[in-house]
Amino acid sequence: MSNWFECKVKYDKMMENGMQKKVSEPYLVDALSFTEAEARIIKEMTPFISGDFSVANIKRANISELFMDETGDKWYKCKVNFITLDEKSGAEKRTASYMLAQASDLQRALENLLEGMKGTMADFEVASITETPIMDIYPYAAAEGSPVKPSENSDLAPQE
C-alpha cells in the first residue's frame, strides 16, 4: 500500500513572455515518512529547476489508487463510494475512497476510472471527479541494491 504525500515546491519559473514569476506547485510523492517525502521531492525536482527552490509544505494525501494514462496531462481526483449492506439494520452504507486518474479531459478521466475499476467485485458509485492542480506524481521505485520497501516485502507482511 502506498503512502502518498502532497509536496508544494516554491521556485522562480520562467514564463513564456520571459518574465520570472514565483510559483508554488503541488507534486505527489510515494514515501514512508515526511522526511523521505521531502528528500524524494528534492531529488526529483533538482534536474528540472534552475536556481533555488524550497519545499514549502508537505501533507498526507488520502489517495487509495492511481489510474495512469500516459496520453493525459492532468490529474483528476475521483471520489468513489463503495456500497455495502449493514446486515443488522439492512441499511446501505457508503464508504468514500479517493483515487487519482490521469487524463486529458474529464470524460477521459471517467473512462480511465471505470476501466481501472472493471474487476472490482464490490458495488460502487462515482460521487465526483474534479481536476487537481497536481503537476506530477512520483511513485516509489526501488533502486538496484536498495532494500525493499517494508510494506511490499512479503517476509514482513502478517502471515495468515
Query: Which pLDDT score is estimated for 147?
Result: 47
Query: Which pLDDT score is estimated for 142?
Result: 64
Q: Which residue has the higher pLDDT, 107 or 88?
A: 107
Do residues 92 and 83 make contact, with C-beta atoms less than 8 angstroms apart? yes
Alpha-carbon span 83 to 115, nearest angstrom = 19
Pick from 28, 58, 2: nearest CA to 135? 28
Span 60-72, average pLDDT: 93
Span 97-121, average pLDDT: 94
Quick: pLDDT tens for 17-38.
989 999 999 999 999 999 999 9
pLDDT above 90 as % of the chain: 69
Span 65-69, average pLDDT: 93
Provide the pLDDT confidence category of residue 94 given band limits of 50, 70 and 90.
Answer: very high
pTM over 0.75: yes
**Is residue 152 pLDDT above 60, yes or no?**
no
Domains of the chain: 1-61 (3.10.20), 62-139 (3.10.20)
Query: Which pLDDT score is estimated for 156?
Result: 41
pLDDT above 70 as % of the chain: 88
Query: Which pLDDT score is estimated for 160?
Result: 40
Pick from 62, 63, 25: nearest CA to 44? 25
Do residues 11 and 52 make contact, with C-beta atoms less than 8 angstroms apart? yes
Provide the pLDDT confidence category of residue 15 given band limits of 50, 70 and 90.
Answer: confident
Q: Which residue has the higher pLDDT, 116 or 152?
A: 116
**Is residue 82 pLDDT above 90, yes or no?**
yes
